[in-house]
Amino acid sequence: MPKHVHFVGVKGTGMSALAQISAQLEGAIVTGSDVPERFFTDQVLENAHIPVFDFSADNVRGKDLVVVSAAYTTTHPEVQRAAELHIPILSYPQYLGRLMSRKRGISVSGTHGKTTTTAMLGFTMIEAGQDPLIIVGSDVPCIGGNTHYGNGHFFLAESCEYRRHFLNYSPEYLVITNLDFDHPDYFTDIHDVIDAFQAFARKIPAHGRVFIWAEDEHRLAIQSAAPIVTFGLSADADVRATALDFHDEGSSMQVFIRGEFAGDLILHVPGKHNVLNALATIAVCREIGIPIPVVLAILSRFSGSKRRFERLGTYRGALIVDDYAHHPTEIRTTLEGARLAYPDRRIRAVFQPHTFSRTQNLLHEFACCFPAADEVLVADVFASARERDLPAVPMTELADLIREQGVPVRYLGNLTTIKKYLAETANAQDLILTLGAGNIYQAGQYLVNLDEQ
């Protein structure tokens, strides 16, 4: 067991959660390093009394283990120095897999919906007295942040498919929210994605369970030694919702389990996708022994997570909402949910593409994902740290393609121009929805701050 663990890139959401878990589960002294820019995780790490230093090769001297964020490679100076000093080096997924093996693992995977489903399931398990250990890829106020250190039997972790990182985990239970083509800088096509998830499903033991969305067109490609439980809206789903009614910022429904009525559910997070996230949560909870009436009551109190249709405030009566959606399927789903929740508002989607490779490879898919919007504002691409050397993708081309779909669109480029345009044109009928995995949320926050002055 290491006495002193150092985290390279500790401000990442997953890394900061893992650092906290390491301090508690392994009893280790934990330090971290990262860029000087402040993120929400800075406060998280300060609250956990984990010191964070600027990157320097000297940071690893005297450490027993170095854990490296997936954003950095062996060329990072701290990683190089650790190798020179013969200090053991683990990637984030390798270390997470090692810690998860100490408890009964529950992995929440899928191309979309991982964070919210993990948050829903974690909140339900905490409130039901399971006291799990949780790592989730966002700030979730109702569980106290991006992690929860519990003394119970379960370790619940959001599990990403990128570079097949999740194959480092060996959980007892696996949720697959959906299967879609993403991360084109790594996966070659949808078949490559399915192959990765199939490899993960094969790791689930026969006494475990695999939970998968019943309506996913690729679900039959997933085979496992463990029984497969389906959730969805179709008549043959094991855990099913019917009598759906969308209203205000949520929905109500009837829940059936294997054809038998299990109870009514009221959700206070919008969209059909959140109905599916809730059904996945119900399916898992049933298998681990939480009574369904208890689950339904707890889910009715779930309030969402940061950057997942998060209400930031208002500006001149306009409602300002932010969402992390950065894949065409996520954007379309989020906008459809917004239209269901706010049928009478003018929906103004402010989209910031994330990564050059995703934008270029899915350009036409992006162009077709905005039919529920009344206006689209396009920002420049927010580049990933791993793509700094790739050529920029002209977003005027995306704007032209969106316009061809009959949706009013403007290419505005940088945040300053977007903020100015929105401040001048917003009115009380608007729902201004910022979309993207970068810093586009700052445009919405700017408007809210103006309104508070």
Measured from the Cβ of residue 65, the count of other Cβ atoms closer than 10 Å reads 21
Q: Where are any strands of DSSP class E within 102-227?
A: 104-109, 133-140, 145-148, 154-158, 173-176, 209-213
Half-sphere exposure of 395 (CA within 13 A, CB side): 21
Residues 11 and 77 grouped into a single domain? yes
**246, β-bridge pairs:** 251
Query: Which CATH number belongs to the domain containing residue 357 in this structure?
Result: 3.90.190.20
Residues 78 and 204 grouped into a single domain? no
208 secondary structure, DSSP code = S
Residue 244 CA to residue 222 CA, distance in Å, equals 28
Residues 412 and 364 grouped into a single domain? yes
Cβ pair 290, 303 in contact under 8 A: no
Residues 114 and 63 grouped into a single domain? no
Which pairing describes strands 318-323 and 310-315: parallel, antiparallel, or unpaired? Answer: antiparallel
Which pairing describes strands 430-435 and 173-176: parallel, antiparallel, or unpaired? Answer: unpaired
> 97 lies in a domain?
no
Residue 219 CA to residue 236 CA, distance in Å, equals 13
Which pairing describes strands 154-158 and 173-176: parallel, antiparallel, or unpaired? Answer: unpaired
Domain closes at, from 91, 111, 132: 91
Residues 292 and 327 grouped into a single domain? no
Residues 341 and 371 grouped into a single domain? yes
Q: What angle do CA 382, 142, 95 make, to 5 degrees?
A: 60
Residues 127 and 149 grouped into a single domain? yes
> 447 lies in a domain?
yes
**66, β-bridge pairs:** 6, 89
Domain closes at, from 252, 279, 299: 299
> 265 lies in a domain?
yes
Q: Which two tokens stand for residue 176?
A: 């697959």
Residue 32 CA to residue 40 CA, distance in Å, equals 15
Cα dihedral: 147, 153, 156, 159 (round 10): 120
> 197 lies in a domain?
yes
Q: Is the dihedral angle over the CA atoms 93, 98, 99, 104 positive or is it negative?
A: positive
Query: Which CATH number belongs to the domain containing residue 59 in this structure?
Result: 3.40.50.720
pLDDT at 210: 98
* DSSP characters over 221-253: G---SS-EEEEESSTT-SEEEEEEEEETTEEEE
Residues 138 and 243 grouped into a single domain? yes
289 Cβ partners below 8 Å, 6+ apart? none
> 304 lies in a domain?
no
Place of tokens 């704007």: 399
Residue 438 CA to residue 276 CA, distance in Å, equals 26
Residue 400 CA to residue 421 CA, distance in Å, equals 19
382 secondary structure, DSSP code = B
Our count of domains for the chain comes to: 3
Host domain of residue 131:
103-299
pLDDT at 41: 86
Domain closes at, from 251, 274, 299: 299
Q: Which two tokens stand for residue 289?
A: 């022994």
Q: Is 192 exposed, middle or buried (0-12, 13-18, 19+ CB in 10 A)?
A: middle
Residues 120 and 230 grouped into a single domain? yes
User: Reduced to 3 states, what is the DSSP secondary structure of residue 442?
Assistant: helix
Amino acid at 245: D
Residues 139 and 237 grouped into a single domain? yes
Taking only the tens of pLDDT, the chain with its 453 residues reads 678 999 999 998 889 999 999 988 888 899 999 999 888 889 889 988 999 999 999 999 999 999 999 888 899 999 999 999 999 999 999 999 999 999 999 999 999 889 999 999 999 999 999 999 999 988 888 888 889 999 999 999 999 998 999 999 999 999 999 999 888 888 999 999 999 999 999 999 999 999 999 999 999 999 999 999 999 999 999 999 999 998 767 899 999 999 999 999 999 888 888 999 999 999 999 999 999 999 999 999 997 777 777 888 899 999 999 988 888 888 988 898 889 888 889 999 999 998 888 888 888 898 999 999 999 999 988 876 555 555 566 888 889 999 999 999 999 989 999 999 999 999 999 999 999 988 899 999 999 998 776
Measured from the Cβ of residue 313, the count of other Cβ atoms closer than 10 Å reads 15
pLDDT at 255: 98
What is the reported pTM? 0.80
Cβ pair 126, 298 in contact under 8 A: no
> 65 lies in a domain?
yes
> 445 lies in a domain?
yes
Instruction: Output the CA–CA distances (angstroms, integers) from residue 409 to 348, 361, 434, in the order listed.
Output: 10, 21, 14
> 442 lies in a domain?
yes
Query: Which CATH number belongs to the domain containing residue 232 in this structure?
Result: 3.40.1190.10
Residues 277 and 363 grouped into a single domain? no
Residue count of the chain, please give it.
453
Q: Rounded to 5 degrees, what are φ and ψ at 126?
A: -65, -50
* DSSP characters over 66-127: EEE-TT--TTSHHHHHHHHTT--EEEHHHHHHHHHTTSEEEEEE-SSSHHHHHHHHHHHHHH
pLDDT at 204: 98
pLDDT at 235: 95
Residues 248 and 292 grouped into a single domain? yes
